[in-house]
Amino acid sequence: MPVRLASVVATHEQRLSTGIGELDNVLGGGLVPGSLVLLGGSPGVGKSTLTTMALANLAAAGRRTLYVSAEESAAQIRLRAERLSVGDALAIPVVAETDLATVLATLEQERPDVCVVDSVQTLHSGELASASGSVAQVREVAGEIMRVAKSAGIAVLLVGHVTKDGALAGPRVLEHLVDCVLQFEGERERTYRTVRAVKNRFGSTNEAGVFEMRDDGLVEVLDASARFVAEATHAPGSVVLCAMEGARPLLVEVQALVHGSELEQPRRVAAGIDRNRLALVLAVLGRHAGIGLGHADVFVNVVGGIRIDEPGADLAVALAVASAARGRSLQSVAGSPLACFGELGLTGELRSVAHADRRLSEAAKFKLGQVLEPSRYRTLRAAVGAGLAGLDGRSTSDLQLTSA
């Protein structure tokens, strides 16, 4: 019997705060009871650390928590917990167990408010013959946990491993099943990490948070732009990108190195941006801006281990490479570092990207006097020419700050 929407009772779910502002934001205001959140990230990025910190805060706030680890022993989890300086990590009950049936029985018996399952690929269901981590196993594990979580009102943080290139390989098959998918990005050796929502039934996917890995756990970085701008080198091959991390503007430094190759097939190495995107930018640079990289190795890096997954980064990559190839710094008339953003079209045109106003006000906030961007330059050739010649980019001093 269909019901008119007007007569459907919809209560606004009460949220459980993880005590980590950036994480709550990305979740859309905290964890929703009975929901399943998938946290994907590569090994070493800090998934266990972040989830343990969330439980530590929840435990300190009097919530019932449970940490299920199918990867580490209880002793290893304790050693990590001892390092953390937030909440009450030592109060978290842990279960080191790989058997799904045992975990489900524990969940039904303990009925915590919030549970972490670390990880979905290492739990194993005896019902299936296939190995842990196979698509069938991962589906079964997540499906069964979800069944119990919904019926008992447990908020579950499901940890999933992703491959190096950022794809939620095994967990990809779970994206339609879970309520929220968070991606934890960054590299083990680097300081900075970002968390962003790629799917969220209870909030927007525009939120992202920046963290720094310290000796006592992950710390939210609220002044990321300031740090990256202060560290920018201004040497040939360096440019500041006005990027968007979700709905938030973030200034990051993009660096490039171009060097004559001794290899048959020159190297094209990208860290922090997509490899295929780099290939496209190099092709457009060669074809439409007269900067052919022919037989040179090209390295591009987003400083700090930040990963930028948006087309607005194209122009920064192109300018950094052009500047490195020519051995000339990108000049701004004002003497401040040159900033930029914009997407490259295949015909060499610069295309506008979302949130130009927020990007420009972030640049203005950090006194970056000039921003090369699509409303100012129509083609890559023109922008490269202006950047290398120190011509007038868009001056932020005459901009009205729309959202400062």
Taking Cα atoms as reference points, which of 59, 91, 55 lies closest to residue 217? 55
Q: Which residue has its beta carbon closest to Mg ion?
A: 48
Question: Does the protein bind ligand TYD through residue 183 (CB under 6 A)?
Answer: no
Residue 41: contacted member of Mg ion, ligand TYD, none (CB under 5 to 8 Å, by partner type): ligand TYD
Task: Give the DSSP H/E element, type plus range, for residue 283.
Answer: helix 275-288
| Residue 227 in contact with ligand TYD, rule: CB under 6 A | no
Q: How far is the CB of 50 from ligand TYD (least distance, A)?
A: 7
CB of 119 to ligand TYD, least distance (A): 8
What is the Cα gyration radius of the chain? 24
Contact at 8 Å (CB) between 235 and 265?
Answer: no
Site for ligand TYD in 69-108 (CB under 6 A): 80, 83
> Smaller CB distance to ligand TYD: residue 133 or 345?
133
Residue 217 binding target from ligand TYD, Mg ion, none, CB below 5 to 8 Å by type:
ligand TYD
In the beta sheet, which residues pair with residue 181?
38, 199
Mark the segment that binds ligand TYD (CB under 6 A) among 41-49, 165-173, 260-268, 360-368. Answer: 41-49
- Shortest distance (Å) from residue 215 CB to ligand TYD: 5
The amino acid that residue 51 corresponds to is: T
Q: Residues 6 or more apart from 395 whose CB is under 8 A from it? A: 334, 369, 370
**C-beta neighbour count of 126 within 10 angstroms:** 9
- In terms of CB distance, is 188 or 367 closer to ligand TYD? 188
In the complex with ligand TYD, the residue whose CB is nearer, 49 or 200, is 49
Q: Tokens representing 146?
A: 């979800």
Q: Does 213 bind ligand TYD (CB under 6 A)?
A: yes
Which residue of 18, 25, 35, 48 would you call a contact of Mg ion, by CB under 5 A? 48
- Nearest approach, Cβ of residue 39 and ligand TYD (Å): 9
Stretch that binds ligand TYD, among 42-50, 333-341, 365-373, 378-386 (CB under 6 A): 42-50
Separation between Cα atoms, residue 107 and residue 258, nearest integer Å: 55
Which residue, 86 or 334, has its beta carbon nearer to ligand TYD?
A: 86
Q: Which does 46 bind (CB under 5 to 8 A by kind): ligand TYD, Mg ion, none?
A: ligand TYD
- Find the part of the chain contacting ligand TYD (CB under 6 A) among 212-220, 249-257, 320-328, 367-375: 212-220
What is the three-class DSSP state of 14?
coil
Instruction: Work out whether 46 is an interface residue with ligand TYD (CB under 6 A).
Output: yes
Site for Mg ion in 350-389 (CB under 5 A): none
Which C-beta is closer to ligand TYD: that of 43 or that of 327? 43
In whole angstroms, how close is the CB of 366 to ligand TYD at the nearest point? 28
CB under 8 Å to 222, separation ≥6 — which residues? Answer: none
Q: Is 49 near Mg ion (CB under 5 A)?
A: no
Q: Is 363 exposed, middle or buried (0-12, 13-18, 19+ CB in 10 A)?
A: buried
Distance between CA atoms of residues 82 and 94, nearest Å: 14
- Taking the least distance from each CB to ligand TYD, the nearer of 15 and 47 is 47
Characterise 150 by phi-psi region: left (phi > 0), alpha (psi -120 to 50), beta (else).
Answer: alpha
- Choose between 41 and 312: whose C-beta lies nearer to ligand TYD: 41
Determine the distance from the C-alpha atom of residue 356 to the mean position of all C-alpha atoms in its chain, rounded to a whole number. Answer: 20
How are strands ordered across the β-sheet holding 114-118?
Answer: 94-96, 65-69, 114-118, 155-161, 36-41, 180-186, 192-200, 208-214, 217-220
- Is the CB of residue 225 less than 8 Å from the CB of residue 323? no
48 near ligand TYD, rule: CB under 6 A: yes
The answer to whether residue 44 forms part of the interface with ligand TYD (CB under 6 A) is: yes
How far, in Å, CA of 54 to CA of 31, rounded? 10
Cite the DSSP H helix spans in 340-392: 356-365, 380-389
Binding site for Mg ion (CB under 5 A): 48
Binding site for ligand TYD (CB under 6 A): 41, 43-49, 80, 83, 188, 213, 215-217
